[in-house]
Amino acid sequence: MSDKDSLDNNEAIWSSTPLSVSVTGQCSLAFANEPAETAAGSPITTAFRSTGDPIAVQLFDFNNKPLDKADFSASRTSVMVSIQTNPGGGTLTGNTALSSNGIADFNNLQIDKAGTGYTLVASASGFTTSAPSKPFTIDGQSQPCPSTTTCSGSASSATTSGTATTTLPAPGDFIATSIGGFGYTCNGTYQPVSDAFSFALFDAAGDPQSNTLAVSLEIHKSLVQSSGHPGASSWQICYASTSQFNAVTGTYEPMTIGGVTYNTGLLLGCTSTQGPPCVQGRHKDNAGDVIVAFLAPGDPYGRG
């Protein structure tokens, strides 16, 4: 074998042509901790009434592998959370955080206005925007029930006021109320015009309780005068509930509110055979406001 043959068989021959490396996929974001229901102006966490862990966003590499402390991008990446679905017209604060070990924690994320069906998205430079969070509710207020025989909550807007009261709440129960932040109608010719009033009794874990609430919905005279319903007797309650209920014939239908399917319809009057939910009475006060009183269990909505 010649020296040339030896070289031909054993030498590595290098080419000056550069190698081409192709990388597919993009870095991405996803919610590691999802938002839960709380009151306007309170921290949004993973559990009812700001009692859980902070909302968190996980960073992923282009192979969809979670970034961790060994990855350069996992530390000190600025992540922003924004409102995607904004039923209440709320403003989000506390929505920027720096990641650490591949996670960005948002310790004081808040929305200032009530609404049903808010969703959030997360974004960061060099990362694809996350999928939306699960829909969640921001209540106008959420307050603990006192250790008495009754528990009440109220909410109001320029044209609509609502009060919900229950008797014999259990220790640790909360009552939550809101005006507005969503809209819906009932089947048929009756067109509700007031803001929607949401009201519910929850236990400490955020589960709706079945207690019947006595509800008073007051519609301001300016809305009464422009509504086409001048007399108190013509006002109805367009009601929405996740539970089935008896309704005025032709008005009952399912409807999606805030990502959840509700049953909607006009409430029947309370009688010896028709229990809650039902309308107890209607009247006008001296100021010309219409007040409709009704009974309702669970976690419903009502509007006139």
Contact at 8 Å (CB) between 217 and 269? no
Last residue of a domain, one of 120, 138, 156: 138
17 within domain boundaries? no
Residue bearing the bigger pLDDT, 5 or 268: 268
- 96: its two tokens: 């920027």
pLDDT reading at 8 higher than 80: no
* Same domain membership, residue 258 and residue 197: yes
Residue with tokens 């009464």: 224
* Same domain membership, residue 98 and residue 38: yes
40 within domain boundaries? yes
* Same domain membership, residue 94 and residue 157: no
20 within domain boundaries? no
pLDDT reading at 232 higher than 60: yes
Q: Where residue 204 falls among pLDDT bands split at 50, 70, 90?
A: confident
* Same domain membership, residue 221 and residue 145: yes
Contact at 8 Å (CB) between 255 and 267? no
Average pLDDT, the chain: 88
* Same domain membership, residue 260 and residue 298: yes
- How confident is the model over 48-81, as pLDDT tens digits? 999 999 999 999 998 999 988 777 666 789 999 9
Last residue of a domain, one of 138, 167, 194: 138
Contacting residues for 72 by C-beta, under 8 A, at least 6 apart: none
- How confident is the model over 131-159, as pLDDT tens digits? 999 999 999 988 899 877 899 999 999 99
* Same domain membership, residue 205 and residue 183: yes
Q: Where residue 17 falls among pLDDT bands split at 50, 70, 90?
A: very low
Can you give the length of the chain in residues? 304
Residue bearing the bigger pLDDT, 220 or 8: 220
Q: Where residue 302 falls among pLDDT bands split at 50, 70, 90?
A: confident
DSSP sequence for 111-175: ESS-EEEEEEEEEBTTBBPPPPPPPEEEESEEEEPPSSSEEEEEEE-SSEEEEEEEESPPTT-EE
CATH code of the domain covering residue 87? 2.60.40
14 within domain boundaries? no
Task: Average the pLDDT over 10-30 and give the result.
Answer: 54
Note the pLDDT of residue 26: 86
Note the pLDDT of residue 136: 94
* Same domain membership, residue 121 and residue 196: no
116 within domain boundaries? yes
* Same domain membership, residue 192 and residue 268: yes
pLDDT reading at 175 higher than 60: yes
Task: Average the pLDDT over 191-195 and give the result.
Answer: 93
Q: Which of 78-82, 244-248, 300-304 shows the lowest per-residue confidence on average (mean pLDDT)? A: 300-304
Q: Where residue 298 falls among pLDDT bands split at 50, 70, 90?
A: confident
- How confident is the model over 27-39, as pLDDT tens digits? 999 999 999 999 9
Q: Where residue 247 falls among pLDDT bands split at 50, 70, 90?
A: very high
34 within domain boundaries? yes
Alpha carbon distance 93, 210 (integer Å): 34
* Same domain membership, residue 299 and residue 181: yes
**Burial class of residue 85 in the structure, from the number of CB atoms within 10 Å of its CB (0-12 exposed, 13-18 middle, 19+ buried):** middle
Phi, psi angle pair for 299, to nearest 5°: -130, 70
16 within domain boundaries? no
Range of the domain at 112: 28-138
Last residue of a domain, one of 138, 160, 179: 138
* Same domain membership, residue 184 and residue 198: yes
pTM of this prediction exceeds 0.85: no
Single out the residue of 84, 81, 105, 96 nearest to residue 32, CA to CA.
105
Q: Where residue 4 falls among pLDDT bands split at 50, 70, 90?
A: very low
Q: Where residue 9 falls among pLDDT bands split at 50, 70, 90?
A: very low
* Same domain membership, residue 184 and residue 292: yes
Alpha carbon distance 215, 199 (integer Å): 9
Note the pLDDT of residue 25: 60
Single out the residue of 122, 57, 114 nearest to residue 84, CA to CA.
122
11 within domain boundaries? no
* Same domain membership, residue 150 and residue 117: no
